[in-house]
Structure 1
Amino acid sequence: MAQISFQGRIIGQPELKFSQAGKPLLRFRTVENSHRQIDGEWKDVGAAWRDVTVFGKQAEHLAEHLADKQIVAISGRLDAREWEKQDGTKQTSFEVLADVVGIVPARQQAPTQPPTPSPAPDPWGAQNGGFPEKAPF
């Protein structure tokens, strides 16, 4: 199987299921948008949709933390599945069997006004930096 690593946005709510043997598996879909600079402007040039499956304890843990529209980084194996449509034509779909899934932190909004630094406190609790007003000589 081919290895794959990518970053994408979860589309829809991840779904925790259990196999016939009682093993947990988490399924969700991601989209990775591609952008390219064309004539000096950034434009959307396509999207890669991927179905992802996570197994075991990681599936149960992630089910509690993943949500729609969240950005994740995924590393795993690309698995091809063949299936037949109702009209009899054969189709191939690809699924990512994730080994590692990481949650990408959301971007912080920049503050509208930078914080004003407060003066450092005098560690000795004295005025004039701990020195007398007049020189002692």
Structure 2
Amino acid sequence: MSRRNRTPAPAAAPCTVTVCRGCCCGTPKIPGVDHAAQLARLRGDLAGTDGRLRVTDCVDACEHGNVVIVQPSAEGRAAGGRPVWLGLVNDPDATADIAAWIRAGGPGLAEPPGVLDLYAFTPSRRVRQAAGA
């Protein structure tokens, strides 16, 4: 009788919410925003979902600060989802809408709440490649 080393299949990659906290985003250059509370709310809203939160340094889209990039899960990418760049995410309601979208499946699997269309922007190819999104 042969033994096979059975390793569990890797979990499918979840949606990733990348929050810029570089030179402009997450700093007093964006006045009136509680940046720590924004991250805490996203962490709390994403708890219990398949989404994960990643904080990164500058993504070089400072004119859109605060920038949030929503990357699809593996399943969402297979369904045609692509990273969605959101700028001027300075309102607590936008943070809640992002989390609701992730709970619904995220890019490729669920339509974003309509208001997020107002935040969406397309960064230059150079910026997208540098950010890995």
| TM-score, reference length from structure 2 | 0.31
Q: Judging by fraction of residues, say which structure has more strand.
A: 1
**Greater CA radius of gyration, 1 or 2?**
1
Q: Judging by fraction of residues, say which structure has more helix.
A: 2
| TM-score, reference length from structure 1 | 0.31
Q: Which has the higher contact order (CA 8 A, sep 6+)?
A: 2
